[in-house]
């Protein structure tokens, strides 16, 4: 049986929604990029929150689908939910040291916050939402679900991210054990020209073992292939 605290988390979000809705209704950000927001959400927020379209299932913080499904049922639109998310991230409850009760300050800011809020506003609580399906098999789906293409170039995935190394250049010649190590312990060896602590440190926890295996096999087989 789920604990009482977990059962009440969506209600807490709805209580905040009620208090904020008048102030932020209709104030959605017009310059936001929801696709980029999805990548940032997976990296920054998915460790705590469930959101079906992001493929995240964490239960540390509120289930955003459960919370905002109720908001949609009473007629709140995506722009309103976007504004509520922005307000909650910008002005989280005072920290208690317990992530189940309070969100860290400045987890995303500026344009990153705009993009995340637009993404959550578009998808939280939408019936039947699920991660977009991609071609290439299970490993390609794991790559897409976890937003890897937002940071890395990989021709096979059709991605052209530049925040992290170009996987078509750095992975060929590596064995699967080394590729897995780079995913679960990315600070162990930092590629030249890049900084530590940019890639999420928790993929070993957030990606299930069978999904991690599929991702490693996919990267080992596809990285460096011409034409993708």
What is the tens place of the pLDDT at every residue in 51-100?
A: 999 888 778 889 999 999 988 999 889 999 999 999 999 999 887 777 66
Give me the CATH number covering residue 196: 1.10.760.10
| Domain shared by 104 and 142, yes or no | no
For the chain, counts of helices (H) and of strands (E):
10, 4
The domain of 199 spans 138-222
Give residue-wise pLDDT tens across range 169-200.
Answer: 999 999 999 999 999 999 999 988 888 888 88
Q: So what's the pLDDT on residue 227?
A: 53
| Domain shared by 114 and 204, yes or no | no
Q: Of 123, 150, 176, which residue constitutes the final position of a domain?
A: 123
Closest to 56 measured CA to CA, from 69, 41, 68: 41
Residue holding tokens 């060929």? 172
Task: Pick 224 or 228 by higher pLDDT.
Answer: 224
| Domain shared by 119 and 147, yes or no | no
Beta strands in 128-225 (DSSP E): 153-154, 159-160
Sorting pLDDT into bands at 50, 70 and 90, what band is 150? confident
Specify the number of domains making up the chain.
Answer: 2
* Residues counted in the chain: 228
Output the CA–CA distances (angstroms, integers) from residue 8 to 12, 31, 65, 83, 205, in the order listed: 6, 34, 14, 22, 25
Task: Classify residue 227: in a domain, yes or no.
Answer: no
Sorting pLDDT into bands at 50, 70 and 90, what band is 30? low
Percentages of the chain per state (helix, strand, coil), in multiples of 5: 50, 5, 45
């Amino acid at each position: 049986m789920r604990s009482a605290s977990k059962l009440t988390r969506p209600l807490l979000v709805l209580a905040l929604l009620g208090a904020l809705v008048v102030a932020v209704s209709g104030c959605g950000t017009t310059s936001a990029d929801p696709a980029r927001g999805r990548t940032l959400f997976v990296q920054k927020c998915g460790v705590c929150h469930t959101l079906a379209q992001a493929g995240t299932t964490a239960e540390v913080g509120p289930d955003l689908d459960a919370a905002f499904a109720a908001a949609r049922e009473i007629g709140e639109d995506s722009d309103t939910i976007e504004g509520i998310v922005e307000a909650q991230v910008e002005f989280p409850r005072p920290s208690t040291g317990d992530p189940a009760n309070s969100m860290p300050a400045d987890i995303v800011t500026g344009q990153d916050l705009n993009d995340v809020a637009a993404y959550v506003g578009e998808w939280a609580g939408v019936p039947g939402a699920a991660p977009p399906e991609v071609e290439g098999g299970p490993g390609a789906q794991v790559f897409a679900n976890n937003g890897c293409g937002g940071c890395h170039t990989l021709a096979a995935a059709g991605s052209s991210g530049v925040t992290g190394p170009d996987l078509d250049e750095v992975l060929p010649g590596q064995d699967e054990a080394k590729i897995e190590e780079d995913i679960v312990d990315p600070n162990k060896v930092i590629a030249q020209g890049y900084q530590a602590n940019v890639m999420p440190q928790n993929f070993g926890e957030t990606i299930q073992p069978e999904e991690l295996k599929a991702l490693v096999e996919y990267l080992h087989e596809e990285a460096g292939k011409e034409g993708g």
